[in-house]
Structure 1
């Protein structure tokens, strides 16, 4: 189910749910803060195991007064994105590319679901993320959904512990834009065909809102 479990049998370098209590110093966080402005937005990332078709990890990118990654019990790391209790600061486009590649490496692909929100909703999500961690192992989906379900317009998101269930319920939110990231190939199955969720495929093929 959870990528921290799957990764142990696939490759120790793959990402998963396996958090620690980490609190970066003030100077590191202040130096790294990234505030790109633009549309306030929430992005749900779900890592999917191509072999089983099951969800492996959930995380939330929040673009509010600053842009952060809420990576509950995750084990992606970068010295350029200091961490405080599962919140990664300084989540620049370069850090995002690194993270997406990490979550879609080997026998995994990453489903990226973006939705625009009001500045108030994004700021509320940011504050909730800052107080949510550190998250215990295997609770990445439930902790992410716990934040989302407290936000206006996201009350019906699934509270499941399963990343794939959360992903599929998130797909029903109006205005969601869905894409899929494929990282490095699976060395044990170089010709793999990703086992993509029919719900995600339908969301990707749906006409844009208002068309």
Structure 2
């Protein structure tokens, strides 16, 4: 399995913190969402001035993962390999979105159905991309997207809102918005999370 073959040292020069969950943990939680292969660009924006604050990329391939380059999302029950989180069930998906959506920030989600081959390519690129240095989340996500079929027009940028605007121009993108009025301490959502039994 390609997950086991990717060396830890591959991403060690990025400046982020190297994390490498054991293969048994990754296999234990592996989950693929029903429906087509899909990319979901997740953009966190300020409710105050609407500026972009963070970018994540959810990939539904042979399994569903979230690439959260340079992010602060983490939970001891969700295995991570260098900014890639595994076992993205509907409950974990919502935890990730709710973690970012709060009184001071909202989330724009952009879904794009892709071929199985493109989704697998995105998964491989995400696994090779991290750990991502701080403040480089959007650049890393754009770097993955621009290598995929039909997404060559995506340009690298450091600004989440600009990547969101580029992605919106791709035919077939479906956009939704998540707003919550939770306390600004997003870590409260992580503390309240109770994982589903496997």
Q: Give the TM-score normalised by structure 1.
A: 0.77
Instruction: Give the Cα–Cα distance (whole angstroms) in 2 for the partners of residues 147 and 167 of structure 1.
Output: 14
- The secondary structure found in structure 2 opposite 1:36 is coil
Residues 1:166 and 2:167 are matched in the alignment = no
**Paired positions, count:** 170
Given the alignment, which residue of 28, 45, 49 partners 1:48?
A: 45
Residues 110-133 of structure 1 deviation map (CA, whole Å, 9 limit, x = unaligned):
000000000000000000000000
- 1:207 corresponds in structure 2 to none
Residues 54-110 of structure 1 deviation map (CA, whole Å, 9 limit, x = unaligned):
100001000000000000011111233210000000011000110100111230000
- 2:133 corresponds in structure 1 to 136
Q: Give the TM-score normalised by structure 2.
A: 0.82
- 1:157 corresponds in structure 2 to 154
- Answer yes or no: is the 8 Å Cα contact 1:34–1:90 preserved in 2: yes
Residues 13-47 of structure 1 deviation map (CA, whole Å, 9 limit, x = unaligned):
xxxxx952211111111111112342000000000
Q: Could you tell me which runs of 5 or more consecutive residues in structure 1 were left unpaired when the two chains were aligned.
A: 1-17, 188-211
Across the aligned residues of Structure 1 and Structure 2, the Cα RMSD in angstroms comes to: 1.5
- 1:86 corresponds in structure 2 to 83
Instruction: Give the Cα–Cα distance (whole angstroms) in 1 for the partners of residues 162 and 74 of structure 2.
Output: 26
Instruction: Give the Cα–Cα distance (whole angstroms) in 1 for the partners of residues 122 and 34 of structure 2.
Output: 16
- 1:14 corresponds in structure 2 to none
Residues 1:108 and 2:105 are matched in the alignment = yes
- 2:119 corresponds in structure 1 to 122
Instruction: Give the Cα–Cα distance (whole angstroms) in 2 for the partners of residues 147 and 57 of structure 1.
Output: 16
Cα distance change, pair 19–96 in 1 and its aligned pair in 2 (3 A)? farther
Instruction: Point out 4+ residue stretches in structure 1 off by more than 3 angstroms.
Output: none
Q: Could you tell me which runs of 5 or more consecutive residues in structure 2 were left unpaired when the two chains were aligned.
A: 1-14, 185-198
- The secondary structure found in structure 1 opposite 2:65 is strand
5 Å-filtered alignment, 1:1-211, equals: 20-185=17-182
